[in-house]
Structure 1
Amino acid sequence: MITDIKDIDVKLLSRVYDRGSRDSFVSLYISFNRNYMDFIRKRVNACKLVLKNDKVLLENLEKSMEEVYRFLKDREIGQKGAVVFASSLNGFFKGYRVYPGVENLFVVDTSPYIRPVVELLDDYETFGLVVLDNHRARIYVVSADRVERGKNISEDVLNKHRKGGWSQARFQRIRKGEIKHFLKEVSQYVSKIFSEDNIEKIVVAGPGGAKKWLMDYLPEDI
């Protein structure tokens, strides 16, 4: 399974470099548009011209690109782009998928070029979305341009109109209890799914006062 860019270890990459200060690391940021291979070939050919008098680095570039091409060939269906760091000389390879695509960039240097990664991660904040009213909730996990539905929760809550033969006080008490039970169920599931996905931000939306009531039931650490 291909690693998502949001799971990248920036600290690890920042400590990687060529101990001989050789330009042995390939860094590729690529969007899978129609002409993406043309972009890569042009950049690789330009680098080969620069390295033509250095047999070791030229061979490293060719072998590193073999690994890069294999990674790109095995990309997932619907994948919009990729970020790849490779150095055959240093036995190093890391590849990541990105959603959405990225600005195309090809760099050969003494270490992985990670500055664009930091900018990408700002766009990859994962957050939770809860859309609810008094008796129904839809829960989603949102990351970049992907929306994953976690769960639908519904409860047969009494409507606002009093039942025949019931006092207004009794009706309101029962209705309030049903709403309370529903909101507790929603908050429990929200806590579970969002802790599993390491989500730090939640957006609550929907009509009426259900949004405010739900916030009262969520744990303080959410």
Structure 2
Amino acid sequence: MARETTVNLVRDLARLSENDRTILSAYLNLRDGWKGVEEFVERRSRRLRPLLTKEEIDYFETSLSFLADFLDEKKEAGFAGPGLAFFADLGADFTRGVELTVAPEPLLAVDDQTIIHPLALELDEFEPVGVVMIDAACVRILVVAGEVKEDLNSFCEKIHHRSKKGGWSQMRYQRRRDKEIDHFVKDAVKRSVEIFKDNGIRRVLLAGRDRMVKRLEDDLPREWQDRVIGKVRWDLDSSDDIVEKIRPLVNRAERDQERLLLGRLFSELRRGELALGGIDKVQRALEIDQVDTLILSRSLDQKVIEKLTTVAESCGPDVEFIPEGNEPLDAIGGAGAILRYKIS
């Protein structure tokens, strides 16, 4: 689940959009299987061909052949995720595909710009969460993003049971058991932190029985304790879907982050300091690399979202999408920016 790969791809796509060339963008929903994808591509291609010039058709057909190769490769590899995206700019010798963590709205388009905002929205709304699932003897470490979970490590330790017939006194036995659990928890923390650092994880969720979850959280370094967004009661042998179990906590963390950003935006706007509101002002600030965080309402016209997102991704600010119906944001035109610096 290479979030960094997707981030880099979005920036590469934004740079492609700075040129006036024919570019293919495809977002494919695999909920209906490979046959559904193939039928969508064929149906959409038939509609597009009459709208293209002869030169554009040549580019289009070649791009479609690269898309078909990409789909064949994923099918042969047994890909079973919710969606795929693919982009081709033959003038730049550029073809790239990426696995998606959520099913996209199906799209196949030819334009002089890549269509970026669905990818940018996925990066914002479905940020990967590191999950540590623990019981009295086993740990499972995974990363969850959208509808996709990826197991990255699991291990078990031989830990003595709570009771023992004969042998040591109960107190001596319990001390040994406590030491075994301490060693086990420290090992779980060490492995989890290493994995989460390698994967750029900023949000962590703990799952298991209350007592073990507390011991795990207490052993986390302070930096990682601050990243814990929630805890859920869980049995490692449960047949329930951990993705569905944690979804409310992940959604709540996303909404909390949005509230914090909006609070900061309007606080700066009231002071007349490091913030701007309105599409035109925000676009001008993006063009001079003044924006630290771009905040967009999903109620904006898709062409406006695409334009602002493309400019933002080419110069590096974070992009945050706010659900429709946020009246304060809509009142300033649906677009706001927290700035890196102020121009007098």
TM-score (norm: length of structure 2): 0.55
Is 1:154 the counterpart of 2:157 in the alignment?
yes
Per the alignment, residue 68 of structure 2 pairs with 69
1:220 & 1:194 partners in 2: Cα distance?
15
Per the alignment, residue 45 of structure 1 pairs with 46
> Larger C-alpha radius of gyration, 1 or 2?
1
Q: SS at 2:92's partner residue? A: coil
Q: 2:111 aligns with which of 96, 99, 109?
A: 109
1:18 & 1:87 partners in 2: Cα distance?
12
Per the alignment, residue 209 of structure 1 pairs with 211
2:129 & 2:143 partners in 1: Cα distance?
6
Displacement after TM superposition at 1:124 (Å): 4.1
The amino acid that maps onto 1:46 is R
Deviations 1:31-62 (A, max 9, x none): 243332222122222222112xx322222222
- After superposition, the Cα gap between the structure-2 partners of 1:89 and 1:182, relative to the gap in structure 1 and judged at 3 Å, is closer
1:157 & 1:28 partners in 2: Cα distance?
55
**2:137·2:157 contact (CA, 8 Å) conserved in 1?**
yes
Q: SS at 1:156's partner residue? A: coil
The structure in which a higher percent of residues are helix is: 2
Displacement after TM superposition at 1:204 (Å): 1.4
The amino acid that maps onto 2:38 is M
Displacement after TM superposition at 1:16 (Å): 1.2
- After superposition, the Cα gap between the structure-2 partners of 1:145 and 1:176, relative to the gap in structure 1 and judged at 3 Å, is same
**1:79·1:97 contact (CA, 8 Å) conserved in 2?**
no
**2:134·2:212 contact (CA, 8 Å) conserved in 1?**
yes
Identity of aligned residues (%): 26
**1:133·1:208 contact (CA, 8 Å) conserved in 2?**
no
The gaps in structure 1 that reach 5 residues or longer are: none
Q: SS at 1:82's partner residue? A: strand
Displacement after TM superposition at 1:100 (Å): 4.5
The gaps in structure 2 that reach 5 residues or longer are: 225-344
Q: Compute the RMSD of aligned alpha carbons.
A: 2.8
2:159 & 2:90 partners in 1: Cα distance?
62
Per the alignment, residue 176 of structure 1 pairs with 178
The amino acid that maps onto 2:129 is F
Structure showing greater relative contact order (alpha-carbon pairs closer than 8 Å, 6 or more residues apart) = 1
Number of residue pairs aligned between Structure 1 and Structure 2: 215
Deviations 1:119-162 (A, max 9, x none): 22245432222222344333333343234251122242351679
The amino acid that maps onto 1:152 is F
- After superposition, the Cα gap between the structure-2 partners of 1:165 and 1:46, relative to the gap in structure 1 and judged at 3 Å, is closer
Q: SS at 2:49's partner residue? A: helix
